[in-house]
Structure 1
Amino acid sequence: MTKTGRRRWATGLMLIGVAGMSALAWAASDGEDAAELQGLLEVLEQQTEIATKTKLNADYVPGLVTVLHGEEMEALGARTVWDALRLVPGIEPSADAIGARQILVRGIGGSFASGNMKILLNGRAMNSALSASANPVLNLSIAQVDHIEVVRGPGSAVHGEFAYAGVLNVITRKQGREVFLHAGESEVYAAGGFAHWRSEDGRGGGSINVGGWHGAAGTNAGQDALYNGFNASQSALSNAPGRIDDEVEQRSVLLDLYRDALSLSLVYVEDGHGDHFGTINVLDNDQGIDYRNRYLMASGKGSWALTEHLRTELALGWQYYENRYNTRLLPDGFFWFNKTPALTQLPGGYLSKGYYEEQRLSADLDVHWDGWEGHRWLASLGLARISVGDSWQENNVDPATNNPTPTQRFFKEDGIPWPSEHRSRRIASFTLQDEYRLSEDVTLTAGARYDDYDDFGSNTSPRLAAVWRLDRSHILKAQYAEAFRPPTFYETGFAPDLKPETIRTAELGYVFKSAETEVHLTAFRSRLSNLIVNNGILGYGNADTVRVKGAEGEIQQRFGPHFRIEANLTVTDTEQAGGGTVAGAANRLANLVLRYEPRSTQTYAMWLRHVGERGREASDPREKLSGYETVDLAASFGNLGVKGLTLRIGVSNVFDREVRYPAFNTLDLAGQTIRSYANDYPQPGRAGWLQVSYAM
């Protein structure tokens, strides 16, 4: 579709939304008002286990928990879990050079191919030891999701490894029966559905949830590293400016079964994507899927009440993760660093192909005891074993000499920065936590988790928190927590001597709630030691101490039964001990959401998002990357002629604002300095979409 066509479609959808809003503004009934009020009360009583492993109202838990509801995010136009996270205060979804999803939290930037947030799928950890990320979960269609729980700040006191900057738990839909179809510009299409069943005696049942999607925006890139003078005599070989390979696809099958106190979960999630801007910031002209991530998981859980006050849970899990890639790093005809072309030319370009697999076996035992008045104790034991299986690369360049060679398979022992198939990690952990009800209004939570790694030593992550319910409307919170993140197998492939990251965070919070108004105010200060950052694109190191301070404000306000406003603002100040900035994340984030619901079956929404300027690394002479604002519009129509049939339409980035993610500027490779994309990584612009779902 041409740009003119896209504009016409976007304008048409906006006119439909405005006309519909005007025509239906008067329509509401007492029964619908009651339904809306009941829905509000259910949201206010939202319970979560993510912060303490004990069910608590989200406002009463230690620290800060945000709950996003899948249907509400659909109504806003979010397409994936990654899209929906934009609404969480302090969270900035981003992507690296090859299009891998990143989550930047509270002013801390991302690293190439590495994550700093614990990612759970239905309460089960998904982070791989290779990269600490779980891309296929972030790419899960929001139509398959019941709700998303997000903890901002350290979570290692309960969740252990990788719960460094926060914890994300994606809860998929397991109730009801529904199918959906989604289509949009940028070659986006998606389909899926879910269903549940229950035995006649009510003691057993299960659910299945399937889905998948595909997209390829074909975004145009600016001048790449080769064009900008990497081996300047060969700039003519550059494919830039040109179309990036931003094809993305995802698919999933989730099966859950239960019988009395026993449950079994089987998971298959996979995604693939093109190489986008290129691993070393050199644009390739091939289109298609270059990178794939696949997870297979089987986990069983049992829960038993041993006495009136003693309850225990046992979870056993097996997880298989596979990563594969097949890409061209440098174009056809390239030769190394101005050497003699006849000797060093690379026919077909610099080709690299890799494969990696790991398996994880885990066992976790939780014991809950509330026999001591005013106390709720949690004791947990955990044991995990991660083993790398087949792991290799195929290159047409010798990794030791940088000389061309017939394509052959290389292993870690040949000098490539890739995990050895003999690599493994054993983790043993013990957690102890006490929730002490000091009075009817004050709860203290104290706990710590001890983790012992056979490759990086041990660590203790403590937490101390207090929640004071002044009355039914006012809540005060305070928390101090620490977290620990071991280097990933990928990072240590480049830098074997990396030290684990640690973080110490203090938070103060205030919550106000009434029938129509909800306010959250938070101030935080963090000290990060040995932060793992990428030195350019293909290297890692530990940064000096980094300090972050900031504030978050959130408000939800209802104006009568039909109109609601949600807004949040996050401001952060991040700096290294020597005064330098930390590259990557924005210094300011803001969201404003307007929802108009003239009927219980109709919703009109506008989502305004602001992202502030983002800093550069110390070696980058460019000015800070400027911020941007986007506006999304969406409308939902339920029971459209047929009960259970819902139509959603919308436009993302209505005004076609320029959105760019920061590109790292320089990289030292074999004595050569590679300049990155001068204009960073542009993202897709305005796009219209529609979705049809049918609930049975």
Structure 2
Amino acid sequence: MVLGVFVCATWAGESSDSDRQELEDLMSLLEAETELATRTGMNADFVPGIATILSGDDLQVRGIRTVWEALSLVPGMSLGLEMTGERQILSRGVGYGYASGNIKIMLDGVSMNSTLLATANAVLGIPVEQVERIEVIRGPGSSIYGEYAYAGVVNVITRKQGRRLYARADEAAQAGGGMIWSWSDPGRELSFSLNLTGLEGDGEGVLVEEDALYPIGQAGLSNAPGRTNEARRYKGMFADFAWRDTHVDLKLLQDDYGDLYGINHFLPPSDHRLASQTYAVSLRVEQDIPLSRELMANARLELFDHQRDRDQLYVFPASYLLDDAPVYMSQDYRERRYLAGGELHWSPEGRHRWLLGVEASQVEVEQATWDWPDLGFEIPSHWLTANIERDIWSVLVQDEIRLGEQVTLTGTLRYDDYSDAGDMLSPRLAAVWRMDHEHVLKAQYARAFRPPTFYELEYALDASLDPSEIATYELGYIFTRPSWALRLTLFQSDLDSPISFDEVSLGGYINAEDARLRGVELEYEHRLGAQLKIEANLSYVDATRRESKTHLSGGADLLGNLALLWQPRERWLGALQLRYVGERYRVDSDERSNLSDYTLIDLTLTYRGRASGLYGSAGIKNLFGQEVRYLAQRTEFGGVDLVYPQDYLRPGRRWWLTLGYRF
């Protein structure tokens, strides 16, 4: 966790009294709570496992623009990019490749991972202006959250308080704005909030000198040199209604984007087409049922509708497959998930806190078709087996045991039964020892699982594809003082039968060789007087396959963040953010050298304003124009390897601006 961010640290700064400032810092450290680890609410430092809390206000001060970018501040997490624009997250070296859904992503507590790819691209694109906070569990979370909580859990909490309008612009990228409006009647226990955002832009694109046609001697067919298609349109609506113990929330997300580098690494025309459209709709109705002073029940119904369409996606250049015309493909996919669940919270005495949960869900694929109008010959209209569905039954039992005031033990066991992937058991045993008001020790053992996605099952290389499991051991130490804090985490994870794309044959998905992750994460926060704060983290992971002793591809051994936050005046804040990403490992079959490391430096200036009135931020991303590249994934067509020689280059230095008004 990035210290200070992870505790929702508010920059009070309205008093020059340094003793008062240190007290406020300490209180912010103690008051940060999360329900993510146990679903019961607990101080973030005292929960089982390693928790990170990223404050939306603090993210804006640092110049962070989206949820995806914010996750790069979490120790051990790095970013990746799929060739046609799908955002990726790697956690502790796990998660590289297409359809790499190894992290559970939730929006206000509702799972947003599609069963097609196990990703949630639309959530990662949410602007931070709409975000209250982001809660992150580093490491396994299946004992509480089930599938895809394999290498981490992310819960994005949207803003539901206040009234504001804002406009934002990014150089050669997107412009737009949003609003937040809330209303409440405490006497009737009634509240409502509406959170809207919309962004659109053609994007300048990055200059690509050579695409995959150059290495195979077909440069004359290429659109390179040329620019990537970085057009993007984003819309979001988050509505929440609460009346007494009843809560209803509705989320609508639309994330449209260009085809960037092209599906087969053939550079598309830079015509600003929105080649991919993703729609996500979630509806939750939840009822709290107080039964007694010690007993509380909860029931919920959820509907999740996910649609992923491709419109004129550029596949082959003219004369590569057909004599005189390029080949475009359109694709439609839609799935719908229904879920019913309930929980029972029982605290029979001060020593125990029991949790019993049950869930039943069904996922149905309603459409999986494609169209190749320029191909010249007929192919089947369905690209997934027709009438796919998955039924899941789940039971969860957890007990938090307080052994006096200082020691808490947590035991959790979850059972999941899949109609198409068998059954999985996810245990967790954790201990937290609050030695005194400064020192905390934490230890945890947890197992998690990851069932195959619909896409992986359809394109599996073997007849069967088994779920993957991970077992993790963690040891944490926390040392807090009024003006500074230190956190140290040691971990080891054993991956059994990880699901990945076959890096040798490029023919489909397999259960790959078992792997082991060993690492350390160090975090530090220090306030130097009333005007200057330093926050830093450094993480190291050795992610290797057990037998071959080769590195897992995609990840970096070393990651680091450093932030200097300066408050020269009462309402003005300056931030310098440094991000280091170490050397990243290629797949074993790629003979090129590993992708080199890079360091990014961002500058941000913020005027926070008063409780009502104007506020704003401006900044420069990648101040020194550092060359940033993500690893290009290898593809194959007709027995020919296709890859970008220079990987996926990202934009250089650029400015951004946000202006808003609070009512």
| TM-score, structure 1 normalization | 0.89
- 1:646-694 alpha-carbon deviations (Å, 9 max, x no partner): 12111010000000001134x4433x22231111110011001111011
The aligned residue for residue 272 of structure 1 is 256
Higher helix share: 1
How far apart are the structure 1 equivalents of 2:294 and 2:457? 45
The aligned residue for residue 306 of structure 1 is 291
- 1:189-215 alpha-carbon deviations (Å, 9 max, x no partner): 130011110126241111000002234
Instruction: Describe how 1:522-601 pairs up with structure 2 within 5 A.
Output: 522-535=489-502, 539-577=508-546, 578-601=548-571
Instruction: Describe how 1:278-293 pairs up with structure 2 within 5 A.
Output: 278-285=262-269, 286-293=271-278
* 2:208 matches 1:221: yes
Structure 1 vs Structure 2 CA RMSD: 1.9
Paired residues of 2:143 and 2:414 also in contact (CA < 8 A): yes
- Aligned residue pairs, count: 643
- Which of 389, 392, 404 is matched with 2:369 structurally? 392
How far apart are the structure 1 equivalents of 2:550 and 2:524? 33
Give the CA deviation at 1:188.
Answer: 2.2
Give the CA deviation at 1:304.
Answer: 1.6
- Which of 234, 238, 241 is matched with 1:254 structurally? 238
Q: CA, structure 1 residues 470+346, in 2 after alignment: closer, same or farther (shift >3 Å)?
A: farther
How far apart are the structure 2 equivalents of 1:33 and 1:639? 24
- 1:201-248 alpha-carbon deviations (Å, 9 max, x no partner): 24111100000223414111232111210xx3x331011232111222
- 1:223-279 alpha-carbon deviations (Å, 9 max, x no partner): 2111210xx3x3310112321112222110111001000011111011011111111
How far apart are the structure 1 equivalents of 2:379 and 2:166? 44
Q: CA, structure 1 residues 28+368, in 2 after alignment: closer, same or farther (shift >3 Å)?
A: closer
The aligned residue for residue 480 of structure 1 is 445
The aligned residue for residue 9 of structure 1 is none
- Which of 401, 410, 419 is matched with 2:384 structurally? 419
- 1:388-445 alpha-carbon deviations (Å, 9 max, x no partner): 1022011258xxxxxx434x67334xxxxx3234000000000001101122111010
How far apart are the structure 1 equivalents of 2:597 and 2:57? 29
The aligned residue for residue 66 of structure 2 is 80
Paired residues of 1:190 and 1:214 also in contact (CA < 8 A): yes
The aligned residue for residue 18 of structure 1 is none
Paired residues of 1:567 and 1:592 also in contact (CA < 8 A): yes
* 2:166 matches 1:180: yes
Paired residues of 2:25 and 2:483 also in contact (CA < 8 A): no
Give the CA deviation at 1:501.
Answer: 1.2
- Which of 602, 609, 623 is matched with 1:632 structurally? 602
The amino acid across from 2:251 in the alignment is V
Consecutive unaligned residues of structure 1, counting only runs of 5 or more, are 1-26, 336-344, 398-403, 413-417
How far apart are the structure 2 equivalents of 1:425 and 1:146? 33
The amino acid across from 2:376 in the alignment is T
- Which of 599, 613, 619 is matched with 2:589 structurally? 619
How far apart are the structure 2 equivalents of 1:87 and 1:600? 26
Of 237-246 and 133-142, deviating more is: 237-246
The amino acid across from 2:458 in the alignment is G
- Which of 679, 683, 689 is matched with 2:646 structurally? 679
Paired residues of 1:636 and 1:649 also in contact (CA < 8 A): yes
- Which of 345, 348, 351 is matched with 2:328 structurally? 351
- 1:163-188 alpha-carbon deviations (Å, 9 max, x no partner): 01100000010011111111121232
Give the CA deviation at 1:30.
Answer: 4.2
3-state SS in 2 of match to 1:201: helix
Give the CA deviation at 1:643.
Answer: 4.6
Paired residues of 2:493 and 2:517 also in contact (CA < 8 A): yes
Q: CA, structure 1 residues 538+175, in 2 after alignment: closer, same or farther (shift >3 Å)?
A: farther
The amino acid across from 2:489 in the alignment is T
How far apart are the structure 2 equivalents of 1:691 and 1:36? 30
How far apart are the structure 2 equivalents of 1:613 and 1:692? 37
Q: CA, structure 1 residues 321+346, in 2 after alignment: closer, same or farther (shift >3 Å)?
A: farther
The aligned residue for residue 22 of structure 1 is none
3-state SS in 2 of match to 1:325: strand
Paired residues of 1:482 and 1:505 also in contact (CA < 8 A): yes
- 1:343-378 alpha-carbon deviations (Å, 9 max, x no partner): xx2543222111011111101111011104411110
Paired residues of 2:80 and 2:90 also in contact (CA < 8 A): yes
- Which of 112, 121, 129 is matched with 2:98 structurally? 112
How far apart are the structure 2 equivalents of 1:607 and 1:307? 49
Paired residues of 2:108 and 2:155 also in contact (CA < 8 A): yes
The aligned residue for residue 67 of structure 1 is 53
The aligned residue for residue 19 of structure 1 is none
Give the CA deviation at 1:494.
Answer: 1.0
How far apart are the structure 1 equivalents of 2:197 and 2:314? 30
The amino acid across from 1:388 in the alignment is V
Paired residues of 1:645 and 1:695 also in contact (CA < 8 A): yes
Q: CA, structure 1 residues 393+554, in 2 after alignment: closer, same or farther (shift >3 Å)?
A: same
3-state SS in 2 of match to 1:405: coil
- Which of 458, 469, 477 is matched with 1:510 structurally? 477
Aligned-pair identity in percent equals 39
How far apart are the structure 2 equivalents of 1:223 and 1:122? 43
The amino acid across from 2:60 in the alignment is E
Paired residues of 2:360 and 2:393 also in contact (CA < 8 A): yes
3-state SS in 2 of match to 1:410: coil
The aligned residue for residue 304 of structure 2 is 319
Instruction: Describe how 1:417-456 pairs up with structure 2 within 5 A.
Output: 418-456=383-421
Of 642-651 and 253-262, deviating more is: 642-651
Paired residues of 2:118 and 2:453 also in contact (CA < 8 A): yes
Give the CA deviation at 1:91.
Answer: 0.7
The aligned residue for residue 24 of structure 1 is none
How far apart are the structure 1 equivalents of 2:293 and 2:338? 32
The amino acid across from 2:253 in the alignment is V
How far apart are the structure 2 equivalents of 1:517 and 1:181? 36
How far apart are the structure 1 equivalents of 2:82 and 2:308? 17
Q: CA, structure 1 residues 37+636, in 2 after alignment: closer, same or farther (shift >3 Å)?
A: farther
